[in-house]
Structure 1
Amino acid sequence: MTTDDVTRPEAPDGAAPRQSPIRTFLVSGVGTALEYYDFAIYGLAAAVVFNTQFFPGDDPLLGTLYAFAAFGTGFVARPIGGMVIGHFGDRVGRRKMLILTLTVMGLTTFLIGCLPGYATLGWLAPALLVLLRLVQGFAAGGEWGGAALFGIEAAPRGKRGLWGSFTSMGVGLGGMLGAAVFAIVSAVFADSLTDWAWRLPFWIGGVLVLAGLMARLAMPQEEAIEVDKEAGLPIVRAFKHAPKTILLGIGVAYGYNTIAYVGSTFFLSYLTQHGYGSTFSLIMQLVHNGVLMTAAPFWAMLSDRAGRKKVMVAGAIAYTVFLFVFFPVIGLGSAVFAVFAFVFNGITMGLTQGPLPAFLGEQFPAKIRYTGISTVYQIGAALGGGTGAFVAAALLLASGGNAVVVSLYGGFAMLILALCVLGLRETAKATTEQVNEGVAGRSATVGHAQPA
C-alpha cells in the first residue's frame, strides 16, 4: 500500500460482497429513510402549518411562499456539509461520518418540534427555525453521498445500480413515513394540527433516528486509511482532475432535485389550495412515495442492463410530459384521477432517481468519491431542490394561477438533466476496478487515478 491508498469496503468483480443485501439496505436505505423522514416532515409542515405558525399574514399563499423560502435555507448549508463531511469520509472513512450525520439530523428535528411559534417569540421564532434548518442541511449534505457509496461499494458484479438504489428507496421510504405520520396526526388531531399537534411528527422523528443509529453503529470498523497529505485535499483534487465531471454532475443533480421537490412539496401545497384537504393531500404523498420506493430499484436494475444514460434520459422525457398532464388532471377535482396522477408521479420520477446514486458515484475514482459525489449532488440540490418549491409557488402566484408556467419550469430542469447525463460517461458495464481507478467509460482521463 502506498501512502495515497485508501481502503474501501468494495467487493472485487465476481467475488461475493462483504455485506448482505439486507444489511446494506439497513445502513444505506433505512438510515437515509429516517434522515429524509426528518427532511420530509419539515417540507410537509412548511406547506400546511408553518405559514401560520411562523410566518403569519393576510395572504395564506404569501405565507406559504415565506415558509418555502425558510425550507430552502437548509439547502444553503448542504453543499458545505457535502464538502466537509465528504472530505472526512475520504480521509477517515464512511462509518464515522454516517453516524455523525444521522445524530445531528435527529437532534435538530426534535428541537424544531420544541420551538415556540411567532405568537410567543416574535421574529426570534422564524430566526431559530432557519438556524436549525441550516444545521439540518449541513448534516444532510454528507448523508446522501455516504449512504449511496456504502451500497455501491458493497455491490456484487453487475448490480451497482440496484444496490445504489437502496438509498433511493430510503428517500422514498422516508417520504412515505413522513407523509403517513403527518396524515395520521392530521386526521386524529384535525382541530389541533396548527396549534400543537404538528410537533408530534418532529418528536417521533427524533426518536426514530435511534433505530438508524443502531444499524450504523453495527457497521464493520474500517481499516486505517493512510493519506498522502502532499496529494492535496480531496475537494481540490476533484476540481483539478475532473472539472467537467463536476459541472455536468451538478447539472444532473440540479435537474433531479428540482422535480423531486416540485413533485413532492409543491404538489402538496397545490392540492390543498385546490380544495382537496390537507389529509387527502398527505395521503397522496404517501401514495407517491410508496410507488417511488418500488419503482426506483426496478429502473436502477434496468440501468444495470441497458445503461444508466438511456434510462435517465428516458426519465427526463417522461417526467416532462407528465408535468403537462398533472395540473389539468388535478384541476378536474376528482379524487380517483388524483390518485392515478400521483402513481404516475412516482413511476416517472423513479426513472431518474433509481440509477442516480450509481451514475454519479461511478464518475469519480475511489480516493475522492465521497467528496466528489457529495459536492456535485449537494450543490445541485441547493440550486434545484432549495429553490424548486419556492420558484414554482412564485411562478404560480405571478401568473395568476396558471400552472403551465410550472410545467415549463420543470421541463427546463429535465432538459438540463438530460443534456448533462449525455455529457457524462456511461459506466454501467465497467468493472469495479475500472470505476475505482477512474478509467471507465469513453474518457480515461477524467478523474484518473493511477492504480496502486
Structure 2
Amino acid sequence: MTAPATSPSRRSIFVASFIGTSIEWYDYYIFGTAAALVFGQLFYPSFSPAAGTLAAFATFAVGFVARPLGAAVIGHFGDRLGRKSMLVLTLVLTGGATFLIGVLPTYAAIGLAAPILLVVLRLAQGFGVGGEWGGAVLIATEHAPPAKRAIYGSFAQFGVPVGVLTSNLAFLAVAPLSNEDFLSWGWRLPFLASIVLVVVGILVRRRLQDAPEFERLKKERTVSKVPVAELFRREPLTLALASLAAIAPPAIGYSVIVYMLTYGTQVIGYARPLLLTLILLSTVVWIATIVVSAVLADRYGPKPIYLIGTVTAVVWPLPMFALVDTGNAGLAFLAFCVAAVVQGLIVGAQGRLFTEIFDVRVRYSGASIAYQIGGMIGGAITPIAATALFATYQSSTPVAIYLTAICLLSLLAILALRVPRHVRHTEASVPAATDG
C-alpha cells in the first residue's frame, strides 16, 4: 500500500504564502510611493505640479486596471493547472517589471518614450499582482484545518502591511539624500533591490505543493475547463457582492500610504521622512489587528468580523482627515493607527471568507477577480479622486466624504453576501497541515 503524501508543515505554508506576498506588495507599493514623491517631476515634467501628480497617480492606477485581467487569466490557469505554478509566475512578472522600472530612463533622457514605458511596466506589474493574492490565500487555506482557515488565510494578508513597511523603509533609507541626488538616482535603489527578494521568493515557492482538494479534482478529472466562464454563469451575484465588499480596505489603505504622502507633505507641511515613519510605524498595528481578526473570524465566522471592519471604514475618514489636518505628528499617527485597525479587521477575515464563498472548481478565479476589482475601485481611483477633489474644493472634507461613500458600498455588499454554513466540499477528507 502506498503511503500518503506528507502534508506540508504550517511553517512551510506560512513562509511560502507570506514571503511571496510580502515581496509582491513591496514591489507594488514602492511604485505608489515613487508616484507620490518623484514620478510627476521625472516622467511628466512639462505638466504643472498638480497635473504632474495627477498624471503620476494615473500611471499608478493603470496597474489596478491590469489587476482584474491578471486575476482572470492567472486565475483561469490556477483553477486548471494548479496554484503552485501560477504563484511562481506572479513573482517573475511583478519582480521583473519592478527591476526594469529601476533602470528606466526619465523624460529628460528619452522624452515621451519614458512615460510610455513606465505605463507598460506598470501594466506588467499589475497583471502579475492580479493573480498573486488569490493563489497565496488558497495555498494556505486549502491546506488548513477547517477550524483554522482564517488563521492560515491571514498568512498571505501579512504580506500587504509588510510590503508597506519594507517599501517605506526602502525610501526612508534614501531619504537623507539631497533632493538632487534623490531625483537623480536615489529613488531607483528600492526598485533595483527588489530583484534579490524576488529570487528568494521563487526558490521558496518552487517547493510548494497543491492542496489535496485541488489534487482530488485533477485525479477525478472534474477540473473546470473554462473556470471564469463557469464562475460568471454559476456565481455572478457572489462575485459581484464580493467585489464590492473588497473595496473598503484598499480605499482606506491607499488614502494613507499613497495620497497622504502628497497631501501631508505638500498641503499640510509634514516633512517627508516624518510622514514615512508614521505610516511605517502604523503597519505594526495593522499586522497585530490581522492576527486578532483572524482568530475571531475562526471563532465567530468571517462575516461578522468583516462587517465590523466595514462599519469602522465608513465612520473613520472624516475623523482621520481632521486629525491629519492639525499638522500635529502625534494626532496624524493616531489617524494612521486607527486606519490600520480598520484594514486589519477586514483583511484578517477576508482570506477565509473569500475561500468559503466560492466553489473549489472556480475558487482561484473567483477570489482573485473579486479582490482585484475591489482593489481597482478602492485603490486605483482613490488617490486620483482625492487629488482632484482637493484641487477643486481646497478642503479635505469632500475627500473624506468620498471615502465614506465608497466604503458604504462594501458595508451594503457584506450585509447582502450569503456565506454557506458549511464549505462546499467534504472537509473531513482534507488532511491538515502539520505543525512541524
Which of 332, 342, 346 is the aligned partner of 1:338?
332
Match of 2:154 among 137, 151, 165: 165
Counterpart residue number, 1:139: 128
Partner of 2:39: 50
3-state SS in 1 of match to 2:250: helix
The amino acid that maps onto 2:254 is Y
Cα distance in 2 for partners of 1:129, 1:227 equals 45
1:370 & 1:58 partners in 2: Cα distance? 41
- Picking from 362, 369, 373, the partner of 1:368 is 362
**CA distance in 2: counterparts of 1:145 and 1:194, whole angstroms:** 36
1:292 Cα offset (Å) = 1.1
1:312 is matched with 306
Letter in 1 for 2:18: G
Distance 1:301 1:134 in 2: 36
What residue is the counterpart of 2:280 in the other structure?
286
- The aligned counterpart of 1:244 is 237
Alignment partner, residue 411 of structure 2: 418
Q: Does 1:353 find its partner at 2:347?
A: yes
SS at match of 2:425: helix
The one-letter code sitting in structure 1 at the alignment partner of 2:88 is I
C-alpha distance in structure 2 between counterparts of 1:417 and 1:408, whole Å: 15
Note if contact 2:80-2:225 (Cα within 8 Å) is conserved in structure 1: no
User: Within 5 Å, which residues of 2 pair with 1:14-413?
Assistant: 18-57=7-46, 59-188=48-177, 191-220=180-209, 225=218, 232-273=225-266, 274-400=268-394, 402-413=395-406
Shift of 1:45: 0.3
Unaligned runs of 5+ in 1: 1-8, 12-16, 438-452
Aligned twin of 1:447? none
Per-residue CA distance 1:424-452 (angstroms, 9 max, x = gap): 1235x635736899xxxxxxxxxxxxxxx
Q: Are 1:53 and 1:117, in contact at CA under 8 Å, matched by a contact in 2?
A: yes
Partner of 1:443: none
Q: Which residue of 1 aligns with 2:432?
A: none
Q: Secondary structure at the match of 1:56?
A: coil
User: Partners in 2 of 1:163 and 1:230 — Cα distance?
Assistant: 24
Equivalents in 1 of 2:220, 2:93: separation in Å? Answer: 27
Q: Aligned partners of 1:187, 1:51: CA distance in 2, in Å?
A: 20
Q: 1:227 to 1:77 in 2, by over 3 A?
A: farther
What are the Cα deviations for residues 379-438 of structure 1, in whole angstroms up to 9, with x where unaligned? 2222322212111111111112x11111111111211111111111235x635736899x
Inter-partner Cα distance in structure 1 for 2:9 and 2:42: 45
Residue 432 of structure 2 corresponds to residue 430 of structure 1 = no
Task: Report the Cα offset of residue 287 of structure 1.
Answer: 1.6
User: Cα gap change, 1:81/1:276 in structure 2, threshold over 3 Å: closer, same or farther?
Assistant: same
Superposition deviation, residue 137 in structure 1: 0.8
Task: Give, as a single letter, the amino acid of the residue that structure 2 aligns with 1:307.
Answer: G
Q: 1:209 to 1:189 in 2, by over 3 A?
A: farther
How far the C-alpha of 1:300 sits from its partner, in A, is: 1.8
Deviation at 1:221, TM superposition (A): 6.5
2:279–2:333 contact (8 Å) kept in structure 1: no
**Secondary structure, aligned partner of 1:294:** helix
Partner of 1:49, secondary structure, is helix
Matched letter for residue 157 of structure 1: P
SS at match of 2:283: helix
Task: Tell me by how many angstroms 1:124 deviates.
Answer: 0.7
Shift, 1:194, TM fit: 1.4
Partners of 1:84 and 1:408 in 2: how far apart? Answer: 35
CA distance in 1, matches of 2:224, 2:258: 42
Q: Answer whether contact 1:256 1:417 (CA < 8 A) is retained.
A: no
Instruction: Call closer, same or farther: CA 1:329–1:77 in 2, change over 3 Å.
Output: same
So what's the TM-score if we normalise by structure 1? 0.88
Percent identical residues = 38
Distance 1:426 1:183, change over 3 A: same
- Partner of 1:324, secondary structure, is helix
